[in-house]
Structure 1
């Protein structure tokens, strides 16, 4: 079978789908990725079929057409970002690339309307793959209305997905979501890369101190928060690994290299090894990765879906949520001194471990397709 994975060109959308793509490859299926070329190096060996605009190009188009900046007003700009601009700039190339690949199945990230358009135009069954929590009913309806108006302009009519593959454990879900199809839970996996050469720093002479991972994720709304976060942690006798979005996030700020290590982008599976606590902005991928590894969190949600992700983790007893960077240090001290949050994270990790693996989900999907 030929399976085409299609993703918005952002790691938070692509990485959650890679375990299912890897499972398909192991099972002997031919797989490929439909996305912007910037995603090619993260495609885990899949050929990347270049199509659709980059995130900056999409943002520029939305602002030019509507005057809305989706990074500042994601609610108002979401339909334009994920549906209108993606199709205006990418429908023709996306369909041509998909037609050349001739997939038997398309797997799209949950808000990738370029992939689902190609599936509709080709008459190919498709599956929606979650990353963030399921969309609330009003936003999902707005997306679908925009697709129903836009698809016919390119000769297609929206079709329904065969299934909705969801990496969120049941305990973090709530009512009020609009699922596009029957939900099929899949165990979330921290991103890994067998070609990564990064190794965890030793922190010579300080190996017995708690190890804190600080990461604001791959799409950072407020990189300036990183410096006050580190300043807040400085009074604590802890070791810190910082995974900044880019080398410029710290500006001219100097760190004590005996206690703080700057890692840059490293696969999350490696970053989490040996870590006692995660400080993060509550992006979906980071939250699910930390929970799957039973790591307690201190979360500073910075926008988009992050406040909801943080609230769910806190309600599960697996995280403490703060409102400002200078509150991080005190919250970390409390969590390290109190086993309750670590126990909450461990409980969610047990739930995640019982979810179907990517290989099992692939088998269920193929059985459903007949």
Structure 2
């Protein structure tokens, strides 16, 4: 079977697809990833079909059309970003590369309307793959209405997904969460990368201290927030591992290591606690590893992600970088946070693996 995976070109959108894509490849299926070439480093062994604008190009187009800065209020401009610009700029190229690949099944990351467009245009069954929690109802309706209009410009009618592959564990789902297709849970797996595993360098004379992983995501809109977060964490007698950011002035060899872009699985193996901006991928990966968190939600879906992790007892939420120091101390000293995180890890381990989910999806096509 030929399976096309598609995603918005950002690590938080691409990485959640990779466990299922790799499971498909291991099972003997031919797979390809359709996205912007800037994502080639995410999975260099999977053929990349270039399609759609980069994130920078998309932001620039939205800013030009709306005379606004979409990064200041992404929720307000989400439809313009994910539907209008990406379909206007990328529909024809995406269709051309997909037609050449001739997929039997498409797996589209939940917000990638290029993937949905390609599936509908080619008459190929498709599956939605969650990254974050499902869109709230009013926003989902706006996305769908705009998609109908944009698809219609090419004489294409949107088609319904066969399933919605969801990496969120059952205990973090709420009654108000609405899925656009039958939900199929999948075990979230931290990104493991390709090639040799990364190993943290020693902290000379400090190996008995806890190691705190500080990551504010792959895009930091406010370097000052990052600087303050590092300073607040360093106020404690802990080792600090900063990733993926590579700002040189953060490096203090005695207490701080700057890891750069490293597979999350390797980072988590070297850490005792994670401080993050509450991106969905980081939250789920950290829970899968059974580690407690301090969360500083920075826009978009992140406050909701933080609320779910905190409700499970596995995270402490702060609203300002200045609060990180006290929060880290509290979480390190209160074993209840780690115990809750380990309960979440047990729940996640019981969810179907990507290989098992792949078998279910293929069976659903027959």
**Same topology, TM > 0.5:** yes
Look up the match of 2:365: 369
Q: Is the CA contact 2:15–2:191 (under 8 Å) kept in the aligned structure 1?
A: yes
C-alpha distance in 2 between matches for 1:338 and 1:178: 35
> Unpaired segments of 5 or more residues in structure 1?
none
Q: Is the CA contact 2:234–2:240 (under 8 Å) kept in the aligned structure 1?
A: no
C-alpha distance in 2 between matches for 1:65 and 1:23: 41
- Taking a change above 3 Å as real, the CA distance of residues 254 and 13 of structure 1, as seen in their structure-2 partners, is closer
**What is the CA-CA distance between 1:116 and the residue it aligns to?**
0.5
Look up the match of 2:19: 19
Aligned with 1:351 (options 347, 350, 359): 347
Look up the match of 1:220: 220
- Taking a change above 3 Å as real, the CA distance of residues 197 and 350 of structure 1, as seen in their structure-2 partners, is closer
Look up the match of 1:315: 311
C-alpha distance in 2 between matches for 1:128 and 1:67: 32
C-alpha distance in 1 between matches for 2:44 and 2:350: 25
* Moved segments of 4+, more than 6 Å: none
Aligned with 1:272 (options 268, 276, 284): 268
Q: Is the CA contact 1:137–1:176 (under 8 Å) kept in the aligned structure 2?
A: no
C-alpha distance in 2 between matches for 1:254 and 1:349: 31
Look up the match of 2:118: 118
**What is the CA-CA distance between 1:275 and the residue it aligns to?**
1.1
C-alpha distance in 1 between matches for 2:270 and 2:64: 46
> Unpaired segments of 5 or more residues in structure 2?
none
C-alpha distance in 1 between matches for 2:250 and 2:65: 42
Q: Could you say what secondary structure the match of 1:74 adopts? A: coil
Look up the match of 2:145: 145
C-alpha distance in 1 between matches for 2:242 and 2:47: 31
C-alpha distance in 1 between matches for 2:158 and 2:68: 26
Task: Please provide the CA RMSD for this pair.
Answer: 1.2
**What is the CA-CA distance between 1:196 and the residue it aligns to?**
4.4
Matching of residues 75-86 of structure 1 within 5 Å: 75-86=75-86
Q: Is the CA contact 2:234–2:255 (under 8 Å) kept in the aligned structure 1?
A: no
Aligned with 1:261 (options 243, 257, 261): 257
TM-score scaled by length of structure 1: 0.96
Deviations 1:80-121 (A, max 9, x none): 111110000000000000000010000000010001100000
